[in-house]
Structure 1
Amino acid sequence: MSIYVGNLSYDATRDDIDAVFAEYGTVQRVHLPTDRETGRPRGFAFVEMSSEDEETAAIEALDGAEWMGRDLRVNKARPREQRGGGGGGGRF
C-alpha cells in the first residue's frame, strides 16, 4: 500500500519528501509525478513505507500539517482506476 501526499509545494523534491517521512519509519519509495509537457512536479506524491504501522503513524502526524508553506493532505492512496481505451478514430 502507499500513501498519497497532496497539496505539496512545487519546490519539494524526492529527497525533501523522503526526509520528512523517514521520521516515521523506513521509506521504500517516493514517486513524484511530473507534468509531461513542462517536466515540473504536479503538486502531489506517493510514498511507500516498509510497514502499515509506519504508514499510519506518518498519515496521523502529517495530514493537515504545514510544510513548505502548504497544508499537506496525507492519506492512504486509493487503487489506480482503469481508464478507458482512449484514442479516437473509429471511422471505417
Structure 2
Amino acid sequence: MSIYVGNLSYDVTEAHLTSAFADFGAVKRVYLPTDRETGRMRGFGFVEMDTEAEEDAAIEALDGAEWMGRDMKVNKAKPRENNRSSYGGGGNRNGNRFSRSR
C-alpha cells in the first residue's frame, strides 16, 4: 500500500518528502511524478512506508497540515485503473486496440 500526497509545492524534492514522513516511521520509497514535456513536478506524489500503522499515523498527522506554504492532502493511494482497453471502444484481451496480422 502507499500514501497519496497532494497539493504539494512544485519545489518539493524526494528528500523533502522523506524528511516530512520520517517522523512517523521508516520511509521505503518516495515517487514524485513529473510532466513528460516540461520535466516539472506535477504537484503530487506517493510515499511508501514500512508498516500500515506508520502510514496511518502519517496520514492522521499530515492530512490538511500546512507544509511549504500549502495545505497537504494525504490519504491512502487508490489503485490506478487501466483504461487502455476502453479508450476508443475497442481492445483485445491484452489491452491493445489494434493487433497485427501476419
Instruction: Compute the TM-score of the two structures, normalised by the length of structure 2.
Output: 0.83
- Taking the aligned partners of 1:50 and 1:80, their CA distance within structure 2 comes to 21
Instruction: Compute the TM-score of the two structures, normalised by the length of structure 1.
Output: 0.92
- The answer to whether residue 30 in structure 2 is matched with residue 30 in structure 1 is yes
What residue number does 1:71 align with?
Answer: 71
- Taking the aligned partners of 1:35 and 1:6, their CA distance within structure 2 comes to 15
What residue number does 2:81 align with?
Answer: 81
Secondary structure at the counterpart of residue 5 of structure 2: strand
Segments ≥4 residues shifted beyond 3 Å: none
Unaligned stretches of 5+ residues in structure 2: 89-97
Shift of 1:83: 1.8
What residue number does 2:14 align with?
Answer: 14
Shift of 1:84: 1.9
Give the aligned residue type for 2:23: E
Shift of 1:50: 0.2
What residue number does 1:61 align with?
Answer: 61
What residue number does 2:46 align with?
Answer: 46
- Taking the aligned partners of 1:66 and 1:81, their CA distance within structure 2 comes to 30
Higher mean displacement: 19-28 or 76-85: 76-85
**1:35-89: CA deviations, max 9, x gaps?**
00000000000000000000000000000000000000000000011122458xx
User: RMSD of the TM alignment (CA)?
Assistant: 1.6
Higher relative contact order (CA 8 A, sep 6+): 1
